[in-house]
Amino acid sequence: MELVKSIKTQVCIIGSGPSGLLLSQLLHNAGIESVVLDRQSRAHIESRIRAGVLEHGSVETLLEAGVGERMLSEGILHDGFDVGFDGERFRIDLKALTGKSVMIYGQTELTRDLIATRLDQGGSIVFSADNVTPSDLESGNPVVRYEKEGEQYEVHCQFVAGCDGFRGVSRESIPQDRRKYFERVYPFGWLGLLSDTKPVADELIYANHERGFALCSMRSNTRSRYYIQCPADEDVNKWSDDAFFDELSLRIGEETAAGLERGPSLEKSIAPLRSFVCEPMRFGNLFLAGDAAHIVPPTGAKGLNLAISDVHYLARAMVEHFKSGNSVHLDAYSQICLTRVWKVERFSWYMSSMLHQFPDHSPFEKRMQRAEYDYVTRSHAGAMAIAENYVGLPYD
């Protein structure tokens, strides 16, 4: 009979992306033990290219967790961003409208910071864990089994946090008749290019052009991230770097493109766009957080921030439970998060609807896009609505 190694902890966290690592860090700060499992290697996790815009509340949460030192020194504060339509440009002045800013700091760098901090503090992170399987989730003693280097392990815990993304095992561990999905798949994707070039502008530019959406973003003052709307089934291999920059130049306009610095791509990929929510976000003693529970199209820069807000609420609830026996916030976790999730889904859907070219849009719908842009750019209330959502809704 094969020997199974047993591990005991208070919380087993599945997934070592930002949400799982941040939850582990916040629990550690409160003296609560956790074990983090991930099927990928550390090198793979630390090399993934992801989002780079942090809301005001996300920055505060990371500082509270004690992992924001490098973010403060290397991140870039942005007080606004531009929205464009058919060659026109308008700046949403976040600072003037809300008194808040956003931080440009790549998710890749944030993940590295979190991993380094957890390991430096003796945190337990198991990389390359195979066949991770949560069980007994409705009991008071869930078990998460996994394999590593030919050996079998069991993690015995009180709570399981499913932070393992859209295609992870956590959500699929909930019986089908106990979960409900809400989803919209968009009929296009984003072709993204990363290059070690100076960004074309000091702040982000979102643009709707008759040829499709474009986004000019950045990871630093010397590293740019650009996107253009493309068919959902597009082959990334059909796009040379020159072809990408040519198309981007058309969509952002001649004046902006005059300052576009071209360079070889470090990474080029196509991301599908979808809106997705799983309800509820709790099953027994399993709690979903981040992409395991919801996906937003990236137009509003909300995916990472929504995951951080989930973790804020989940950490608060678990700390209260372990420290005082108060389970009020733990019991309300799904309801509290979903109230915020649907507001963020609405904003991301709204931005996507205004700024993309939809193949099935009628002339009437195209005029409505233009009318919406005109309202946002000519109305203080319209600009304010964009700004307060972009910097992030306050935490309850």
Residue 298 catalytic? Answer: yes
Residue 134 catalytic? Answer: no
Catalytic residue among 105, 186, 298, 373: 298
Catalytic residue among 206, 226, 313, 373: 206
Residue 390 catalytic? Answer: yes
Catalytic residue among 302, 312, 321, 356: 302
Catalytic residue among 78, 100, 294, 321: 78
Residue 78 catalytic? Answer: yes
76, 218 in Cβ contact below 8 A? Answer: yes
Q: Which residues are catalytic?
A: 78, 206, 298, 302, 390
